Amino acid sequence: MTLSHLAWYWPLAGGAMIGTAAGAYLLLLGRVAGISGLLARTLGMPGDGGRSSAALFLAGLALASGLAMVARPIPLPALSANGAVVLVIAGLLVGYGTRLGAGCTSGHGVCGLGRASPRSVVATCVFMLVGMATATLVQIATGGPA
């Protein structure tokens, strides 16, 4: 898939918005805005409160990004049968792994690194390196994303 060039200020500005959102959630509600954690909370899992806030955060996220993508559509890969199988496996791994590792790109990467949590530093290094190795090997093996 061809990928258009993205000027450096878009990711920096978008990142600042993500960090401000996570920071505001911490400052206002006193909770970590890690999406995998919020998702588990929405599903009723950790059971130490914050369920309705978590659900509302995710609803706001889905709604705002849904509207933004009308203005700036994101091309998603068309799915072959094999592609769908890979996608199911990837989704299961992401869901299970983020819960086992207690965080994802936002929980460990943005919030955890922001408070210099040693667990988050380790987790972020591990998922970055494994993610890079996986994506690079898939690219070399198939000549394109799955």
Interacting positions 91-130 with another protein (CB under 8 A): 91-120, 122-124, 126-130
Cβ neighbors of 77 (< 8 A, separation 6 or more) are: 1, 83, 145
Under DSSP, the state recorded for 145 is: -
Tell the smallest beta-carbon distance from residue 77 to another protein (Å). Answer: 6
Tell the smallest beta-carbon distance from residue 111 to another protein (Å). Answer: 6
- Find tokens 């509207």 and name the residue: 67
Q: Per CB under 8 A, does 82 bind another protein?
A: no
- Cβ atoms of 46 and 37 within 8 Å: the answer is yes
Task: Give dist(CA 97, CA 91) in Å, integer.
Answer: 10
Tell the smallest beta-carbon distance from residue 97 to another protein (Å). Answer: 3
Q: Which of 107, 2, 90, 109 is nearest to 54 (CA)?
A: 107
Among 77, 80, 82, 142, binds another protein (CB under 8 A): 77
Task: Give dist(CA 21, CA 11) in Å, integer.
Answer: 15
Tell the smallest beta-carbon distance from residue 125 to another protein (Å). Answer: 8
Interacting positions 3-62 with another protein (CB under 8 A): 3, 6, 8, 10-37, 39-40, 43, 45-50, 52-54, 56-62
